[in-house]
């Protein structure tokens, strides 16, 4: 009896159990979006729409390319290499005697065949220098550069191994700051009577406004005696960050414009960066034709990685500096589009009516 009773209890327990719930359907909701029923427009490419498009592109791009090319050719540019690899180079001796603790000065004479009008920009150029290397680009501390006082004494690990030197935190830290370009360039004009005139070079205004006033800031309460106490400068720097520009106290620290320009890394291994500006002379050419001397304080080593150094003088226009490639590219694309338009037009008139006049079989 007990077993029967237990059996009934078990049967009753089974009968009282609920059936498993139905699995949730994975079918998307019946909406126009999820069922892909939204209205759409698909262009029908016909000769009447494609051929005019090619002609319009050609007629727009060719004049734009011609304008850019002519404007580029009106820009004047002069470039001189002062690496000093060749034995007859005036800077050859500086490459042989180079050391971090010594200073070498060399002078390179050159001649401008035509006058430079308007504002003239002086650039320094480097070749075979890969500022786009991933580890190099990451080797910086933006919190430190933005004036965060805690980052001064605790630099980011991204800066390693240029974050500490003899257990002292480095400010600014990182490989980019450590490799700061530090050649000094001076320009002299030799007049016909033999007198030598130094060309004034303006160092303010060479950095982007957003960089100097937003991205780069000195620590709050910044002064030369207390802000950077307990830190040291990068290993390759002969002076600390507070003495980058001894002639201008307002151009020191993280807001030094030469430093800011260098910290904006280049995308290609051959690049140029703005070094100085020569303001225009309203009464005479900014740089008259004639003989000049470029005096270089040779501090920056490039021989060990087969690099090259150069100085560039350039004028600018509404499109920037001299760049013939942009105009050539516009003219090339426009010419190709115009020729393709002619080819498609001929094909359309010669073979397009065959399909229209073809008899439809019964």
pLDDT tens per residue across span 302-336:
988 999 999 999 998 887 788 889 999 999 999 99
pTM, 2 dp: 0.77
Ordered by start, the domain boundaries in the chain are: 52-75+316-350, 78-312
- Between the alpha carbon of residue 331 and those of residues 26, 63, 65, 286, 316, the distances in Å are 55, 8, 5, 33, 22
The per-residue pLDDT for 241 is 87
pLDDT band at 8; cut points 50, 70, 90 = very low
Is pLDDT of 24 > 80? no
pLDDT value at position 56?
95
Report whether 187 contacts 124 (CB < 8 A): no
Residue 16 pLDDT greater than 60, yes or no: no
> Do the beta carbons of residue 80 and residue 294 sit within 8 Å?
yes
pLDDT of residue 200: 93
Per-residue pLDDT, 310: 95
Query: Strands 120-127 and 271-278, how do they pair?
Result: antiparallel
pLDDT: which is higher, 357 or 133 = 133
| CA pseudo-torsion sign 353, 354, 356, 357 | positive
Structure confidence at residue 2 as a pLDDT band (50, 70, 90):
very low
SS3 track for 189-237: EECCCCCEEECCCECCCCCCHHHHHHHCCCCCCCCCCCCCCCCECCCCC
Q: What is the pLDDT of residues 96-137, one digit of tens each?
A: 766 555 678 999 999 999 999 889 999 999 999 999 999 999
Distance CA 308, CA 314 (A): 19
- Closest by CA position to 105, among listed 197, 179, 183, 190: 183
Residues 6+ apart with CB under 8 A from 266: 129, 131, 132, 273
Measuring CA to CA, which residue among 125, 107, 93, 105 is closest to residue 297? 105
**Cα separations in angstroms, 110 against 1, 104, 338:** 122, 20, 45
* Distance separating alpha carbons of residues 227 and 250, to the nearest angstrom: 15
């Amino acid at each position: 009896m007990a077993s029967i009773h237990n059996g009934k209890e078990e049967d009753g327990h089974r009968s009282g159990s609920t059936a498993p719930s139905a699995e949730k359907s994975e079918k998307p909701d019946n909406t126009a979006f999820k069922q892909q029923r939204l209205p759409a427009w698909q262009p029908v490419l016909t000769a009447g729409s494609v051929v005019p498009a090619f002609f319009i592109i050609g007629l727009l791009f060719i004049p734009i390319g011609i304008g850019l090319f002519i404007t580029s050719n009106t820009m004047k540019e002069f470039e001189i290499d002062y690496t000093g690899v060749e034995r007859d180079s005036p800077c050859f001796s500086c490459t042989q005697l180079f050391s971090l603790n010594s200073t070498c000065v060399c002078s390179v004479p050159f001649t401008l065949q035509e006058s430079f009008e308007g504002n003239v920009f002086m650039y320094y150029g480097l070749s075979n220098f890969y500022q786009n290397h991933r580890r190099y680009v990451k080797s910086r501390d933006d919190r430190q550069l933005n004036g965060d006082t805690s980052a001064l004494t605790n630099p980011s690990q991204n800066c390693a191994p240029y974050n500490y030197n003899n257990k002292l935190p480095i400010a600014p830290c990182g490989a980019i700051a450590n490799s700061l370009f530090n050649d000094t360039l001076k320009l002299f004009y030799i007049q016909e009577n033999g007198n030598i005139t130094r060309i004034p070079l303006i160092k303010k205004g060479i950095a982007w406004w957003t960089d100097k006033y937003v991205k780069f800031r000195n620590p709050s309460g910044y002064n030369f005696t207390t802000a950077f106490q307990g830190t040291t400068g990068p290993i390759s720097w002969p002076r600390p960050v507070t003495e980058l520009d001894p002639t201008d106290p307002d151009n020191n620290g993280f807001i030094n414009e030469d430093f800011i320009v260098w910290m904006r890394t280049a995308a290609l291994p051959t690049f140029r960066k703005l070094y100085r500006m020569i303001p225009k002379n309203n009464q005479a050419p900014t740089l008259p034709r004639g003989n000049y001397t470029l005096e270089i304080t040779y501090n920056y080593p490039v021989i060990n990685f087969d690099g090259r150094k150069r100085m560039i003088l350039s004028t600018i226009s509404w499109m920037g500096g001299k760049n013939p490639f942009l105009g050539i590219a516009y003219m090339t694309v426009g010419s190709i589009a115009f020729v393709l338009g002619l080819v498609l037009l001929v094909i359309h008139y010669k073979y397009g009516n065959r399909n229209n006049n073809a008899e439809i079989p019964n």
